[in-house]
Structure 1
């Protein structure tokens, strides 16, 4: 997904897909510190 299209809605949908068969991780590491604002 291009960075310009990333939003909180996109992030939530991706986490839902990723955790459909597994539990949420204890820690989420991000490559770009700016993306942390999507998680808070």
Structure 2
């Protein structure tokens, strides 16, 4: 069970970091209006 809980914690941490990165990138692109409309991740 400890490994299962640890996996959930690590996955949750990665998701939070990803969301923060997307939020920061969205704010930067929103303020500077960089031309990345053609790029599709």
TM, length-normalised to structure 2: 0.32
Judging by fraction of residues, say which structure has more helix.
Answer: 2
**TM superposition score normalised by structure 1:** 0.33
Q: Which has the higher contact order (CA 8 A, sep 6+)?
A: 1
